[in-house]
Amino acid sequence: DGGITQSPKYLFRKEGQNVTLSCEQNLNHDAMYWYRQDPGQGLRLIYYSQIVNDFQKGDIAEGYSVSREKKESFPLTVTSAQKNPTAFYLCASSLGLAGTTDTQYFGPGTRLTVL
């Protein structure tokens, strides 16, 4: 059963804590992405990775960090430097074909709440 999995579904964080959101895909996609979704604001790109061991900042990377040690995994760490982390976080992947546009497939999301 191919797809993208995210865990946990719900996550609660205390002020000053770092938390890591998991994203795994078995679609054999090269490219992976992290988005943040706030009500009425659509999706905003945090980080993306085109290949293993390489990643680029998106529009709102401050306070976040990522790693891409394996093709199928792209974890996101929300650090204490992120001042307003409460949001719905979405991971996506795509084939990542250079020079062409391809479709992004999304995971089910993780809802992060800061207590």
Positions touching other proteins (CB under 8 A) are: 4, 6, 31, 33, 40-43, 45, 48, 50, 56, 58, 90, 92, 96-109, 111
Q: In whole angstroms, what is the distance from residue 21 CA to residue 2 CA?
A: 20
Nearer to other proteins, 80 or 105 (CB): 105
What is the separation of C-alpha 82 from the centre of its chain, rounded to a whole number of angstroms?
15
Q: In whole angstroms, what is the distance from residue 34 CA to residue 107 CA?
A: 10
Nearer to other proteins, 30 or 72 (CB): 30
Nearer to other proteins, 56 or 113 (CB): 56
Closest CA to 88 of 107, 61, 105, 111: 111
Nearer to other proteins, 72 or 79 (CB): 72
| Closest CB 16 distance from other proteins, rounded Å | 28
| Closest CB 83 distance from other proteins, rounded Å | 22
Strands (E), the chain: 4-7, 10-13, 19-25, 31-37, 43-51, 54-57, 64-66, 76-78, 87-94, 105-106, 110-114
| Closest CB 109 distance from other proteins, rounded Å | 5
| Closest CB 97 distance from other proteins, rounded Å | 7
